[in-house]
Amino acid sequence: MSHAVRMPSFGPAEPAYLPNVGDVYLVSPQLLGSRGYGDAGGPVPVVVLAVSRHRHGRITVATRTSSRIAPGVSHGAAPQLGLPRPGVWTNVTTVDKSLWTPHDARWRGPLERVVFEEVQERFL
Amino acid sequence: MTPAAAPAPREELLATQRIGRSGAALLYRLVRIVAIARNFPPPPGFDRWDDSAVTETAHDFLDGERGTRRVIEIAIRSADEQGFERVLEQAVVNHLRDTSRRTDMGRLVRRVTEVLTDEPAFSRIEGAMARWALKDGPVIPSHVPETTLIAALAPVEVSVPEWSSERRSAPLADRDSFTRMLAAILAAAAGSLTAADIARVVATRLDHRRTPLSIELDVLETAMEHSPRLDPAVQASSSVRAAEILRSLSESERIMLARFDLPVRELGSVLGLRKSQAALLRQRLATRLHEELLDDEDPDDTIVELCRLCERWLADRTSALGMTLRHRDGGTAAPGRWEEGGR
């Protein structure tokens, strides 16, 4: 078939890994199912709230916006986490576990405990 | 000696006019993410989005001349690699959406045909494309507008059976409901309809699309900053910028943008150049546009508008040249109007 000639084949997709609850990751906006997510279409910061134990389960995350007026848990700038501007942890969504790959979900570090507890309290 | 880094997908596509390793890797990745994250159904024969399902869908996306042309258009319409990925992602979303609609509608047409065939209340009128009418009813092709047919469905009672299987799709409605709907539509049609016509009307009453088209999240979308492409001011700015760039382009460059879908060899013929020269000029043009649009707020929109202007310019030029030739035939040759546009 013509397309088989045009397009090389590859092996299996990049393997997924399990994130740590309470850690911040920068994820590709496509993982969240909506184009244009994020301030500039770039990676979206999320903090992991829960990880399903099921093989085909989902990862629950809270997303962060740099809009100061969004409802949620306020969070100051945290450059060490790749968050140079103050923002708000504002919404909870889930991501398919199979999409959590090193390419599309980059680890940044643990969220400050006091902020994480507040996020958990608000959203879980 | 360290091996040279692989070219980025857009760069590779512009240089070779075909999807290479980087482009293929990007396409596989996007198909997988979009399909799973947006909950599209896997292709027929697959029960989940495994590597084979992703590969097959990516190949479908590229299949045929149209598929290749679409990817090349995406490469020229994007100003950089990030823009290319964004536009390609949207194209993948649209492809999966179209496929999903086709599959679901196809299933509905088959179900309608099955009920029409089995139930004695309906009769089949043979022809190049079979039509259906009420038994002993008028058989002339119906000219009743679709809105009237849709309105006729409103009072029809529809029952959807309870369903617990996760492996098989639930029926859209029970058989009696289907029969009632088809009878109501054909009565209102006062003539015959094809199964596809009928299915389109039935689809307005049933949830025939099995899959959510996306799982957009409302709260965050309103909280996030909106993309500037939604802003009419940015759109107007793109139009102005595109017109400015158009004025600075030579005739050859305008033709290259208008016919970016052409393979390099054919482009060379159009421009009267060798293949290698055409490839070089095209690459230079892409680089130049990329540099010109570095500070553009939405380079994708500007490129789309610029391509549109070039296509219009080429169409006008072609018809003007046709008129000129006709004038010349009559001995009243007009001056070469378009030669003044070149640099």
| pLDDT of B229 strictly over 50 | no
Report the complex ipTM: 0.82
Amino acid type, B278: A
**Residue A89 phi, psi dihedral angles, 5° rounding:** -80, 115
| pLDDT of A15 strictly over 80 | yes
Confidence of residue A9 (pLDDT cuts 50, 70, 90): low
- State how far Cα B227 lies from the chain centre: 22
Q: CATH classification of A2-123, choosing from 1.25.40.10, 3.30.70.360, 2.30.30.110, 3.90.950.10?
A: 2.30.30.110
Mean pLDDT, chain A, rounded, equals 83
Interface of A with B (CB under 8 A): 1-4, 6-14, 28, 30-39, 41, 63, 65-67, 70-72, 88, 90-91, 93, 95-96, 98-99, 103-104
B132 beta partners? B124, B193
Q: What is the mean pLDDT of residues A117-121?
A: 92
Report in angstroms the alpha-carbon separations of B265 from B27, B175, B257, B278: 26, 58, 15, 8
Q: What is the mean pLDDT of residues B90-108?
A: 79
Domain ranges of chain A: 2-123
Taking an 8 Å cut-off on Cβ atoms, the answer to whether A3 and B27 are in contact is no
Higher pLDDT: A44 or B266? It is A44
Confidence of residue A23 (pLDDT cuts 50, 70, 90): very high
- Residue B6, chain A, CB below 8 Å: the answer is no
Q: Where are the alpha helices (DSSP H) in B154-293?
A: 175-189, 195-203, 218-223, 232-248, 251-258, 264-271, 275-292
Question: Closest approach of chain B CAs to the CA of A110, in angstroms?
Answer: 22
Residue B331: the pLDDT is 38
CA gap B263, B275 in Å, rounded? 9
Residue B135: the pLDDT is 92
Taking an 8 Å cut-off on Cβ atoms, the answer to whether B32 and A32 are in contact is no
Taking an 8 Å cut-off on Cβ atoms, the answer to whether A3 and B224 are in contact is no
| pLDDT of B233 strictly over 60 | no
Q: Which residues of B touch A2 (CB under 8 A)?
A: 63-64
Is B56:B87 a contact under the CB 8 Å cutoff? Answer: no
Taking an 8 Å cut-off on Cβ atoms, the answer to whether B51 and A88 are in contact is no
Range among B20-29, B206-215, B220-229 with highest mean pLDDT value: B20-29
Mean pLDDT, chain B, rounded, equals 75
With residue A104 as reference, give the H or E element that holds it. none
Q: Which residues of A touch B86 (CB under 8 A)?
A: 35, 41
* B59-98 pLDDT tens trace: 888 887 677 777 888 888 788 888 888 888 888 888 887 7
Which stretch of B29-38, B195-204, B314-323 has the lowest confidence by average pLDDT?
Answer: B314-323
Crossing angle for the helix pair B81-118 and B9-16, nearest 10 degrees?
A: 80
Q: Judging by beta carbons within 10 Å of its beta carbon (0-12, 13-18, 19+), is residue A58 exposed, middle or buried?
A: middle
Q: CB neighbours of B184 closer than 8 A, spacing ≥ 6?
A: B152, B153, B155, B156
DSSP A20: P
Residue A39: the pLDDT is 44
Higher pLDDT: B191 or B100? It is B191
Residue A26: the pLDDT is 93
Q: Which residues of A touch B38 (CB under 8 A)?
A: 33
Question: Closest approach of chain A CAs to the CA of B214, in angstroms?
Answer: 7
Report in angstroms the alpha-carbon separations of B189 from B110, B138, B154, B225, B274: 20, 9, 15, 49, 60
Q: Judging by beta carbons within 10 Å of its beta carbon (0-12, 13-18, 19+), is residue A116 exposed, middle or buried?
A: buried
Q: State the first-to-last Cα distance of chain A, in angstroms, to the nearest integer.
A: 51
Higher pLDDT: B182 or B228? It is B182
CA gap B340, B251 in Å, rounded? 9
Q: Which residues of B touch A67 (CB under 8 A)?
A: 223-225
